[in-house]
Amino acid sequence: MAKRKTQTLSVPESVELSVPESVELSVPESVELSVPVAEAPAPDYLLHVEARLTRSQGAAMRRLVAGLERGGARADRPGRSDRRVDGYADAIRWLLDEIARR
């Protein structure tokens, strides 16, 4: 069985978030992050986000998506709840769902 590695980043007033990442094709591992969050009013409309990623951000995104897909992670989509993570947008939804649950 593969050894699990973790990295921890401490930020005051934060939510801890565990994100699976894949080192080998079939063995996901986990990275622990602390994500700073603050109280904010909920929007009364759906939000849309577009972003260009650096090479390192793109590599991290691919690792995140691969780990979530292999782990069978699920995320809510507008109009559809609890669907399997399938791609970059779903990975972002999954991260935000994890923050929203805490």
- Is 32 inside any structural domain? yes
What whole-number percentage of the chain has pLDDT above 90?
27
| Residue 2 belongs to some domain of the structure | no
The answer as to whether 5 is a domain residue is no
Domain extent for 26: 14-37+46-100
Confidence of residue 10 (pLDDT cuts 50, 70, 90): low
Long-range contacts made by residues 90-97, C-beta under 8 angstroms, separation at least 24? Answer: 90/65, 91/61, 91/64, 91/65, 92/49, 94/68, 95/17, 95/19, 95/64
- Predicted pLDDT at 24: 47
Q: How many domains are contained in the chain?
A: 1
pLDDT, averaged across the chain: 80
pTM: 0.65
